[in-house]
Amino acid sequence: MHSPPHLTLLPTPPARPGWLRYAAPQRFYPLAGRLIPWLALAAALFAAAGLYVGLVKAPVDSQQGEVYRILFIHVAAAWMSMFLYLVMALYAALGLILQTRLSFMMMRALAPTGALFTFLTLWTGALWGKPTWGAWWVWDARLTSELILLFLYLGFMALQAASDDPRRGDRGGAILLLAGVVNVPIIYFSVRWWSTLHQGASINLTTAPSMARVMLAAMLLMVIAFWLYSAAASLARVRGIIAEREPAATEPARERR
């Protein structure tokens, strides 16, 4: 009597407490799919609210006039450009130390969104700078370091695309991210460390905001909208990466507990 043929099944990761169980791509894939539409809807609602408050309800600035409204998008995009790079660097460190596959995948998934917000920061900064400074671009310390951040994002994505071996690309990209993380505090503190045309921070953790409450509300609404969009876009992108690298993880599987 012949023995039944051997079947190769996707191994079910061992049970882990709490959210750690979703560190496995097999479990994270369906979770991401459930979260994406809710995050995208919330991002659209917060963006609509932020634009309404910033463009309609906020008063005209006494010094800059109507052009200051660009800053509601510019500042939120600048914050996200730095924040997403730090998150990528954190995933890079986790991937190198713990060898977690999902960390490297999330690192790659966040890069295009981070590059988008960095470009948006530079573009809106130019739109604001022309009527305010009289020039589209100046080699200001903060602008220059933000431009370097864009090059870091683009360099990371180019390195990933050029590597034939995903594991080698992951390690090389992680090292590049960790080496470039020093640029983030340079961006943030550049207006304090050097003589610069760029204005200082309007929001500080240690002092009261130097803007009207309605302006602050518009800016925070846009920050939340950009954060929700980043989460939705990155989760959608990581699902594609999981499907490419581990297609078995995307198949309907037996209940994983």
45 or 245: which leads in pLDDT: 45
Whether the Cβ atoms of residue 16 and residue 23 lie closer than 8 Å to each other: yes
Structure tokens at 151: 């090059």
Q: What is the model's pLDDT at position 182?
A: 94
- pLDDT 10s digits, 184-198: 999 888 667 655 655
Greater confidence (204 vs 108) lies with 108
Residue 82 lies in a domain: yes
Is residue 20 domain-resident?
no
SS3 85: helix
The answer as to whether 219 is a domain residue is: no
**Residue at 1 is within a domain:** no
Any domain includes 220: no
Q: Let me know if 88 is exposed, middle or buried by CB neighbors in 10 A (0-12, 13-18, 19+).
A: buried
For the chain, the straight-line distance linking the first and the last C-alpha, in angstroms and rounded, comes to 36
**Residue 184: closest CA among 82, 114, 81, 89:** 82
**Residue-number span of the structural domain to which 183 is assigned:** 29-199+226-246
**pLDDT average, residue stretch 219-227:** 95
Closest CA to 234 of 107, 91, 121, 117: 107
Structure tokens at 192: 């304090």
Tokens of 13: 């990761």
Residue 96 or residue 1, greater confidence: 96
Count: domains in the chain: 1
Is residue 139 in some structural domain?
Answer: yes
Identify whether the C-beta of residue 155 lies closer than 8 Å to the C-beta of residue 85: no
The answer on pLDDT for 2 being more than 90 is no
Residue 37 counted as domain residue: yes
Q: What is the pLDDT of residue 226?
A: 97
Query: Is residue 13 situated within a structural domain?
Result: no
Whole-model pTM: value is 0.84
The residues, any chain, with a CB within 8 Å of residue 19's CB and separated by 6 or more, are none
Instruction: Pull the structure tokens for residue 228.
Output: 């929700």
The confidence band for 3, taking pLDDT boundaries of 50, 70 and 90, is very low
CB contact at 8 A, 142 and 189? no
